[in-house]
A and B are shown apart, each in its own frame.
Chain A
Amino acid sequence: MRYLMTTGRNSRQPDEALFADMGAFIEEMTAAGILITTGGLEPGGVRMTSRGDEITVTDGPFVEAKEEILGFALVEVSSHEEALEVARRFRRIVGDGDSVLHRVTG
């Protein structure tokens, strides 16, 4: 089963040490066949809305800075608990902040 984990702003400063910790974590998860893909997201974004025949495009930002999604990871796990365990390990690395997990269906 697959889970998408999205993450907002985290408290730990993005310095060399963080990159090294994240690099080791990503390498381990990839080698284990758990991490499928991961990436950061540019703040702001573009919203597209369709109403009837009309499609409107609006430039962001749309939400408060603390709710903005700034990163994601798609993981392949064998249980819901395992997804949580992987996310816990991530949260221990990046400091204070929030992540949201969704099971990918279909």
Chain B
Amino acid sequence: MTTTRGGGDGDTGLHARVDAVWKLESARIVAALVRMVHDVGLAEELAQDALVAALEQWPASGVPDNPGAWLTAVAKRRAVDHLRRAERAERAHGALAYADEDADETDGAGDGTGDEDADVLRLMFLSCHPALRTEQRPALVLRLLGGLRTDEIARAFLVDEATVARRIADAKRTLAEAGAAFAMPDRDELAARLSSVLEVVYLVFNEGYAATSGQDLLRPDLCGQALRLGHRLAALAPGEPEVHGLVALMELAASRAAARTGPAGEPVPLHEQDRGRWDPVHVRRGFTAMLRARDLGGSPGPYVLQAAIAVCHAQARRPEDTDWTAIATLYDRLAALLPTPVVALNRAVAVGRAHGPAAGLALVDALRDDPRLRDYHLLPGVRADLLDRLGRGEEARREYARAAALTRNDAERAVLAARAAGHAAPAGAMLEDRAAAFLAGLDAPAARAYGQTLRRLVRGLGGTTPAAALTADDVARVVTASWDRAAAATWNRHRAAVRSFAAWLEHPELAAGLERRRVEAPPAPPVDPARVAALCDDPALPVRERALWSLLHESGAPVGVVLALDVDDLDRDDRATHDHTVVWRSRTARLLDALLAGRTRGPVFLADRRPGPARARTGADRCPDTGRTRLSYERAEYLFKQATGGEATLRRLRVRA
């Protein structure tokens, strides 16, 4: 027993101490209980009971010498009691007694054996289970493995407590319904499941990294939590290079945390940071993790590549010492593995440094048509910098101004606006003023209808672009990036607004690049395969949706047929249905494995929730194990529209021969 002199004693002190013990020990305790009772929700309840017992008993008895072992022993005893009660109840019903050899394990004290480690690793896999929705996983991980309370998680993610409580409760129910096994994923599944865990840890880290510091002193440090989870995972799965890659990436990012914001809270770009403020402890730990990843060999994955890029920066004592050629090469490889527009933009920055601004600008310009980057302030920001270095001051000014208009960070907006102001604006009316004058001259309904089009046009072209400097090509590019995939009628409506504005400017030729579209056009073209790949590989999207899209794309089968599939229709080894009417390839195979983990029957694609009793369907459209019903066409269509920004329908995923 330890006694405390001075401050910090009493109930508050005890609570704080119990909380600290809990955060250090809860992962092991909960993991051991889940193995015993096979239910995450129940395991956590039993663990919480032990915590309550500690708060009741410790004020009188004093804190035991080994509080973690005490909590473990009490929680395990409660689990054994629970299992015995359940056994008796089953016997009373004449059912077979369910016995578990683990139930006899009442020794309690954590002995640090490998079994305990395996329990914690399994709990990590379970908390990041593919059956869970993206926003549920971080909450569950922080709760079960970080020992955070609901109010702490709510504060960390800036959402209210009830939302977090609901997320966690839903997640536990989903795991119970999915019959998610507390078994280690098998070899085929391991890579996909591990990458899901890495993704959640990185998401937690980035959530913390993006947060403005100092606003809320009680906001838990998500970066610290993620680093701990990462180190823990690296100790549990030391043979996985990507785990060490993620740890290295997070450590090196954390090393720059203090240097990346200026005194007014403005973001300081990497090449302007005071390198003396980079934290050498984090740098060293990052390098150590990177060496482990390299020692394991193999072809580097996305985390190892991103960490390698961070290592290049960390090794440069001065910005001008940065090995941009090496970084550009690493980005080439990363872009092949992660074909996202943000990676492509970073690659353009690296190429701009390694091979000159003209080479960088060529890559950036190719991204200007990507609708996903339409409102991303770093695209004009990067472009402005490259144009500036090429001596194209007026174009740089417009892009700085556009970036300033798009960013949501006030301090960053000030920096960008100042850069724009560094170049004198040419004489003549600005686009934003001309657009406002045009709209002011219309009656209210017309102004409303045209206003949407013109706001998008101004944002895409830059409000401070002189109206006289507009070209038909620029107008066509912005309109195409915005509405190319919209329905023909929508396209025509925006086109009419642009033509009307161009006529008002007395430059009707500005709208010349925009063809009117036939409304009863032939069926819309299939979704670009690169787009499909990006969607299906986007770890932020639920695995169910990705599996469905990938299957539609690879098989070309009708949507109705695919949604009607049951688990036992599939021959997953053969990558086809038993009757070979639907055939798929490796990406779908991987996603189906993740989706169907442990399920042997019922519909392949299930709805999120169980229907209420009044609506309960029976028979073939209901999963006998989880009670969830088959995913409907309407819902599937809605989810795909959401993911594609409302542009595409499921039918367009099918590749036509």
- The chain A residues found within 8 Å of chain B, CB to CB, are 24, 28, 30-34, 36-37, 74, 76, 78-79, 81-82, 84-86, 88, 92
Contact = CB atoms under 8 A, between A and B. Distances in A.
Contacts of A85: 17, 20-21, 24
Contacts of B225: 78
A47 to B, nearest CB: 26
Which label, helix, strand, loop or mixed, suits the secondary structure of the B interface?
helix
Contacts of B281: 36-37, 74, 76
A87 B655 CA distance: 62
8 contacts: A30-B231, A31-B232, A33-B228, A78-B224, A81-B16, A81-B17, A81-B20, A86-B24
B430 to A, nearest CB: 47
A33 B227 contact: yes
A81 B66 CA distance: 15
Interface residues of B, number: 24
A82 B20 contact: yes
A32 B232 contact: yes
Given A28-B112, A31-B232, A84 B227 contact: no
A85 B18 CA distance: 10
B17 A84 contact: yes
A76 B224 CA distance: 9
Contact of A31 (B2, B17, B221, B235): B235
Contact of A32 (B220, B221, B231): B231
B23 A78 contact: yes
Interface string B91-117: 000000000000000000000100000
Contacts of B220: 78
B19 interface: yes
A79 B230 contact: no
A78 B221 contact: yes
Contacts of B227: 33
A88 B19 CA distance: 15
Q: Which 10 pairs between the two chains have the least Cβ-Cβ distance?
A: A33-B231, A31-B235, A81-B20, A82-B20, A81-B16, A33-B228, A85-B20, A33-B227, A36-B281, A81-B17
B320 interface: no
A32 B228 contact: yes
A79 B231 contact: no
B443 interface: no
Contacts of B221: 78
A32 B117 CA distance: 12
A11 B281 CA distance: 31
Contacts of B186: none
Residue from A28, A33, A36, A88 having most chain B Cβ neighbours under 10 A: A33
B19 A33 contact: no
Given A92-B65, A92-B66, A82 B23 contact: yes
A52 B112 CA distance: 56
Given A33-B227, A78-B23, A92-B65, 4 more contacts: A31-B231, A32-B235, A76-B281, A84-B17
Interface in B11-50: 16-17, 19-21, 23-24
Contacts of A82: 20, 23-24
Contacts of A79: 16, 19-20, 23
Nearest to A37: B281
A28 B19 CA distance: 20
B11 to A, nearest CB: 14
Contacts of B235: 31-32
Counting chain A CB atoms within 10 Å of each CB, which of B16, B20, B281 scores highest? B20
Contacts of A36: 281, 285
A45 B194 CA distance: 49
A9 B162 CA distance: 51
Contact of A33 (B20, B21, B65, B230): B230
